[in-house]
Amino acid sequence: MATSVEIPAKADVVVIGGGPAGSSAATHLARNGIDVLLLERQAFPRNQVGESLIPHFWKFTDLLGVSEKIETEGFVRKSGGITAWNGQIHQITFSRYGYDRPGLHVERDVFDRILLDHARDCGARVFTEVSAASVDFGDAQWPVVHYTDKRAASNAQGAVRCRYVIDASGHSCLLASQFGTRRQISSDLKFLALWGYFENSRYLGADRSSHAPEECLEIRPVTFVMSYEHGWVWHIMLREKASVGVIVHTDRTRGMNKAGRAAFFQQTCNDLPYLRELLRTASFIPGSLQFRPDYSYYATRICGENYYCIGDAAAFVDPVFSHGVQNALYNAAVATLAIRESLKNNNLRKRYSQICESRMQQFYGFSRALSLGDFGANGVDRELVKTMMKALPELELELLLVASAMTNRSENFKQLAREAGVWDGFSDRAAITAPDQIASLSL
C-alpha cells in the first residue's frame, strides 16, 4: 500500500496482525458492515511455517467467502497422514471419516496473502509494514492502539482509537505480553522446532509408496510424521519444494548456536530412516532454516470487554496434528461474532466476552489434550474438553480418537473420552487403538 495513504485515527475495530486469524477476523467484520482497520507489521507475501491444513478448514473459508480463491490457486491436495511412531506405522484417510473435500499442503506466503487480499476486497482497511506497539485501555470505551508506521524511513509514531481490539499478533502475543498473562507449558513438554526446505525431494503418497516431486499434483501425498529418540519430524510436499521440520526436546540442543542447530538439523535428516530415503535426491535450500524455541504456551486470559486475543496470540499448542490454522479460523469466527453482538448491545459486552473466552479456551484445551496428552494442567480445563467431545459429530470424534492413537500421547485423551461417556459409543474400539495399521512403507 502506498505510504501516502494515511492511517485513520479512529475505527470500530482494530485488528493487530494479518495472518489467518487477523485477516479472517477483518473479513468477518467488514462483510457485516463494521468499520475495521488491520495493522500488519510485515510486507506481504512473507514466509511462514504451518503448511499442512486438515479438511476442517473449508467450513471456515466457506463462511469467509474465500474458498473459490483458494481452490483456484491449485495447492497440493493431500488425502490424509501417515505416521511412523515408536516402531508402528499407521495411516489416516480423510474420506473414510466423511470428508469429501481434501486437506491441503499450502505455501503459507501464498495462502496468507490470499486471505489478506480477500479481507481488503471485502472492505477492511489494511495497512502492512505498520507495527502495533501497545494498547492503552485507560478509556474502556475507546482503547488506543499505538503503532510505528514503517512504510517510510521516518518510522512515524501514531495512534488509532477504537471500540474493540483484536490481537492476532502471532507468537509475539502483544496483549498477553503487555498484561503478563502469557505462560510457557511445563518444562517436560518444552521443545525446539527447527524447519527448512528442500528442492527435488521425493514424497510419500496415499498408496504408501514414494514418488518423484513432479507427480504430487496427480498422486496425492500425505503429511508424513515420524518419531525418533529426541522428538519427532515432519515431511510436507509442496508444489516446488518440501517442508521438513525437526522437533527436539530443548535439553538436547541447550548451548547450541545457530550453526550448531543447523548441523543438528542436517544430521537428523541424514540419520533417520524413511526421511533419509525421501531426501536422497533432494538439495537443501540455503538460508531456509528457521527455528522457534519453547513453542508451546498459553495465555491465562484471552478475552475482555474491549479486547480479544486470537490465533497464536492466545496460545500455541503443537504442530503434530496440523491444528494451527484451523484454531486461528475458529477463533476469528467466534471472536467477531461476540464483537458484532456487543456492538448491538454494549451493556452485554462483558457477557459476550466471557462466552467467547470459554469457547476459545475449550478449543485450545481440546487441541492440547489431543496433541500433548495433557489435561488438568497448562491451561487445560478437562470439563470443557469433555463437553466439546460430547458435542462433536460422531465421525469427526472418531477421526480425532484415531489420530490420538497414532502417537504415544493418546492415553489421557482416551481417558477423557471415557469420562465424557463417548468412548463406549464406538463399537470397533480396536480400530481406534490401532488405526489402519500398515506392515511397511515402500520407499
Which CATH number do you get for residue 112? Answer: 3.50.50.60
Is-cis flag, bond preceding 45, omega within 30?
yes
Q: Are 153 and 198 part of one and the same domain?
A: no
- In the block, cell 498422486 appears at 219
User: Which CATH number do you get for residue 274?
Assistant: 3.30.9.100
Does residue 253 lie in a domain region?
Answer: yes
Does residue 422 lie in a domain region?
Answer: no
Q: What is the mean pLDDT of residues 291-320?
A: 86
Q: Are 302 and 155 part of one and the same domain?
A: yes
Q: Are 140 and 162 part of one and the same domain?
A: yes
Q: Which segments within 88-136 are labelled E, that is strand?
A: 88-93, 103-105, 125-128, 130-136
Q: Are 226 and 169 part of one and the same domain?
A: no
Does residue 420 lie in a domain region?
Answer: no
Q: Are 165 and 198 part of one and the same domain?
A: no
Does residue 138 lie in a domain region?
Answer: yes
Does residue 4 lie in a domain region?
Answer: no
Residue 33 domain boundaries:
10-51+108-183+298-354
Does residue 387 lie in a domain region?
Answer: no
Q: Are 196 and 276 part of one and the same domain?
A: yes
List the Cα angle 61/313/349 in 5-degree steps. 80
Does residue 125 lie in a domain region?
Answer: yes
- The residue among 145 and 82 whose pLDDT is bigger is 145
Asked which of 13-17, 325-329, 352-356 is least confident by mean pLDDT, the reply is 325-329
Q: Are 312 and 206 part of one and the same domain?
A: no
- The residue among 127 and 292 whose pLDDT is bigger is 127
| pLDDT tens-digit map of 138-193 | 999 999 999 999 998 778 999 999 999 999 999 999 999 999 999 887 656 677 88
Q: Are 190 and 125 part of one and the same domain?
A: no
| pLDDT tens-digit map of 235-263 | 999 999 999 999 888 888 888 888 999 99
Say what angle helices 349-372 and 411-420 make with each other, to 10 degrees.
130
pLDDT at 5 over 90: no
Nearest Cα to Cα of residue 351 among 338, 362, 332:
338
Report the domain count for the chain.
2
* pTM (two decimals): 0.92
Q: Are 175 and 317 part of one and the same domain?
A: yes
Q: Are 197 and 81 part of one and the same domain?
A: yes
